[in-house]
Amino acid sequence: MTTLYTADHEWLRIEGDVVTVGITDFAQSQLGDVVFVELPKAGRSLKKAEAAAVVESVKAASDVYAPISGEVLEANGALTAEPALVNSDAADKAWFFKMKITDQSELDGLMDEAAYKAHTA
């Protein structure tokens, strides 16, 4: 399992040809208290950099972008019921959606953890 990051503060956990996508701890700390999450429906096709989900906090609403192209396999219904999970466990339980990778080469432009930490420093 590999974890990569985008400049837009999404993380991707890669397992074979499936990625799990969420927002980073840095992103949730910038947003403040999350009060609402809108997730993509299973079966939706997404293009890289397309708005895929919305996260709303007491401060602002932000889009969550598809880090790569693919088809949504599953959304995390727990976030709809308990949006505050994003604040308490952004890197694990608060994943947003899982998708099937359609173009492995799109992973090449993403950052590893060290590069992402440098990006947010």
Q: How many CB atoms lie within 10 A of CB 82?
A: 14
11 close to 24: Cβ distance less than 8 angstroms = yes
Question: Domain limits of the chain?
Answer: 2-105
Condensed to tens digits (0 to 9), the pLDDT of residues 38-80 reads 999 999 999 999 999 999 999 989 999 999 999 999 999 999 9
73 close to 18: Cβ distance less than 8 angstroms: yes
Q: Which helix (H) or strand (E) holds 70?
A: strand 70-75
- The structure tokens listed for 4 are 């990569």
- For the beta sheet containing 2-5, the strands, ordered from the edge strand earlier in sequence to the opposite edge, are 2-5, 10-15, 18-23, 97-101, 70-75, 45-46
Q: What is the pTM of this model?
A: 0.94
Pick the CATH number of 2-105 from 3.40.50.1110, 3.40.50.620, 3.40.50.720, 2.40.50.100: 2.40.50.100
